[in-house]
Amino acid sequence: MKSINELKSEILRLTGEYSRLVHSENRPGYDKKRRMWKEKETIPYAARVFQEEEVQVAVSSILDFWLTLGPEGKKMETELAAFLGVKNSLLVNSGSSANLIAISTLTSHNIEKDRRILHGDEVITVAAGFPTTVAPIIQIGAIPVFIDANPKTGNAFCDQLEEAYSKGKTKAVMMAHGLGNPFDIKQTLLFCKKYNLWLIEDNCDALGSSYSMPRKLAESLGINENSPGLDEGPERIARWTGTWGDISTQSFYPPHHITMGEGGAVNIIKNKRLKVIAESYRDWGRDCWCPAGVDNSCKKRFNWSLGELPHGYDHKYTYSHLGFNLKPSDPQAAIGRVQLKRLPEFIQARKRNWELLRIGLDSLSDILEFSLPTHSESWDSKSGFRWDKSSCRSTCSWFGFKILVKDNAPFSRTDLARELDRNKIGNRMLFGGNLTRQPAFVNLMKDNPHAVRVVGSLSGSDTIMNKVLFIGTYPGLNEDMIKSEIEIIKNFANFSKSIKS
């Protein structure tokens, strides 16, 4: 008779064999064991990319039947924090939940009153993007202040930050790094430091993107170390996005850079006190910090006097915040740990796929405009990006390949989207476009005109809404798929030109 360990090993061996047979099309595009893509098959804009090890660790965790967040979760939190070079990472059940926890943390009574976000305070954000970057601001009773987005980068026009500021009301800036392109971190940090504001980086689309600036400037902003694995010499400091502000968020939904299925994380950059608050909001609002299955870590479980509870009331059932239960499961974390090991090669694949698309579509630059990294002024196939005089640089772990259809094009963005769809090429708008045009926000502003504040005309966000889409750069793409995409887009563009002429 087989021992328990032998039996488990045999189950996992068979699991790996099953996965190799069934899931070969989910392997990375550069993996020779991947099932060959056939012409006219669907080319997704994004998808889960995994190998047999992810399936094996998920089954192993299920066999152990620790279903709630447990030992695998603790290890992934430690490993993610180590990769980024931040104080702490807390796993949650989605990137949207991560944003909710991040902003809720700054409402805590444990935050100094002049910096605490109170009902009616303002948080500056960008109008073009994903709605759950903004929704939590409203959900905590604060007012989002929308600044415009630059169609070339997909990120905020940070020149509008000063105009958006309201003395005594503005408490934070909360923005995403759009499609993996870092926003102007230098200008944003200088602004936040000037007014002592919090910075929340929504890093859900940008895991593995980085930003660098001159060392003297970084040190003046309180940044004195590179992120692990990033080094641009003694004169510069380079850090991953999601490590420059106070709190950042991640999503591990399948289209993102790594996946746990559903899942996300809140990263505490350096202020460990924020970790205790964020953890409380994630875990029902409780005051106790004991991990699941552990009691009395503080050695004072029945000796606290908190609120108006009787002395000695069980600390595990003491609640200091109006919290949630937003934890993922341990099998998800087991998958995430394997995915995290694959992240460096995934980052390189995304960069390579973006470059192949950019080179292949360059001949259409007269009618299509392509994304530029923040601080980049132009691109050419020989020398790559040319940078502005800011002395800052951004390196993109691209979430997607952004295409803007110019006014002189013989077709519209929607025409292009329909053609891509007809040819089974996955494509998406830049999420919600101008969010103030979305039904939820239109109705909100009808009910309460003061629920949001808008800076300027938001014309750039309207351009993104009307003229931009993106296709995939995810690691599951191979060169044949990318060549097919390029050919279909070029044929459509050239045919449209011939019809118009």
Q: How many CA atoms lie within 13 A of 147 on its CB side?
A: 23
Tell which residue, 178, 252, 253, has the closest CA to residue 209: 178
- Residue 311 annotated in active site: no
Q: CB–CB of 130/82 below 8 Å?
A: no
**Tokens 């935050």 correspond to what residue?**
111
State both tokens at 468: 């931009």
> Active-site residue among 109, 119, 177, 256?
256
Strand 122-126 with 143-147, pairing: parallel
Please give the Cα distance from 194 to 197 (Å, whole number): 8
CB under 8 Å, gap of 24 or more: what pairs does 53-56 form?
Answer: 53/16, 53/338, 54/335, 54/338, 54/339, 55/15, 55/16, 55/18, 55/19, 55/23, 56/12, 56/15, 56/16, 56/19
CA distance to 252, 329, 344, per residue, from 332 (Å):
10, 5, 20
Q: List the structure tokens of 294.
A: 């552990």
Long-range contacts of 12-18 (CB under 8 A, 24+ apart): 12/56, 12/59, 12/60, 15/52, 15/55, 15/56, 15/59, 16/52, 16/53, 16/55, 16/56, 17/52, 18/55
**Residue 469 forms beta bridges with which residues?**
403, 429
Give the CA count within 13 Å in the CB-facing half-sphere of 247: 27
283 DSSP 8-state letter? B
Q: Please report where in the chains the tokens 């329909």 appear, as a residue.
A: 418
Active site residues: 256
